[in-house]
């Protein structure tokens, strides 16, 4: 987690894409107003939790996150999730509210279809290592070339990557009431995995307001529009 800011009046909780970690959101810190505190989800099997077994099922992951995050929801909050992180953020809100605990004031989803829609890509979590890595690169282009070139290092990251894709490829939405909070959805105009219509379908998961924002770029469009996304979230739009 970034350095605590006791005087912050708002917290943003960041949930990363499959295979990712808190580093996804660290460049945002310098662009964030001083009254906002970032809380970055550190998932098992990576970064400071590298020695912990990664979790390949949504239920156990949500259980741990709910217990860790509930005490931090003592002030207004935003949940921001990119790709896999969007489903985690959405389901975490549902779990918190089912227990009668506080939730955030806004859900911001990025680079992900609405949860009730079918996955447009075939599952590949079960493939042998070489084919698994090739499928990730072919679909997302998300693995750094330095990591691909270092087999020993890649083997360290593979368990978390496979667990994440197992989680996302086997995730099945269970119908429930719409959330009682606004949703803002961000997408890339060239993201073949998440066309605008699939992003807009998030509207049916809130009984509050819904806003959609499209930016130039592919699945990882967010790297170039951090300030714009922050502005939208802080305005609640």
- Catalytic center residues: 83
CA distances from 102 to 10, 45, 136, 162, 188 (A): 14, 28, 36, 32, 31
What is the DSSP-derived secondary structure letter of residue 110? Answer: E
In whole angstroms, what separates CA 134 from the centre of its chain?
22
* H or E, element range at 211: strand 210-215
What is the DSSP-derived secondary structure letter of residue 41? Answer: -
CA distances from 200 to 94, 150, 157, 192 (A): 20, 39, 33, 15
In whole angstroms, what separates CA 27 from the centre of its chain?
16
């Amino acid at each position: 987690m970034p350095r605590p800011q006791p005087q912050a009046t708002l917290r943003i909780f960041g949930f990363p894409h499959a295979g990712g970690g808190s580093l996804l959101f660290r460049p945002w810190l310098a662009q964030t107003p001083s009254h906002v505190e970032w809380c970055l989800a550190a998932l098992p099997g990576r970064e400071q939790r590298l020695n912990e077994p990664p979790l390949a099922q949504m239920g156990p992951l949500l259980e741990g996150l709910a217990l860790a995050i509930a005490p931090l929801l003592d002030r207004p909050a935003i949940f921001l999730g990119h790709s896999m992180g969007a489903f985690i953020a959405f389901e975490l809100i549902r779990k918190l509210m089912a227990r009668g605990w506080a939730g955030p004031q806004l859900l911001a989803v990025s680079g992900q279809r609405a949860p009730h829609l079918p996955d447009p890509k075939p599952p590949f979590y079960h493939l042998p290592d070489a084919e698994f890595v090739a499928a990730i690169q072919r679909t997302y282009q998300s693995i750094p070339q330095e990591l691909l070139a270092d087999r020993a290092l890649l083997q360290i990251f593979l368990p978390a990557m496979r667990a994440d894709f197992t989680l996302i490829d086997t995730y099945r939405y269970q119908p429930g009431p719409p959330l009682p909070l606004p949703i803002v959805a961000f997408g890339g105009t060239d993201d073949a995995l998440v066309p605008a219509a699939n992003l807009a379908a998030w509207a049916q998961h809130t009984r509050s307001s819904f806003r959609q924002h499209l930016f130039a770029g592919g699945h990882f469009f967010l790297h170039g529009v951090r300030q714009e996304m922050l502005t939208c979230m802080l305005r609640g739009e």
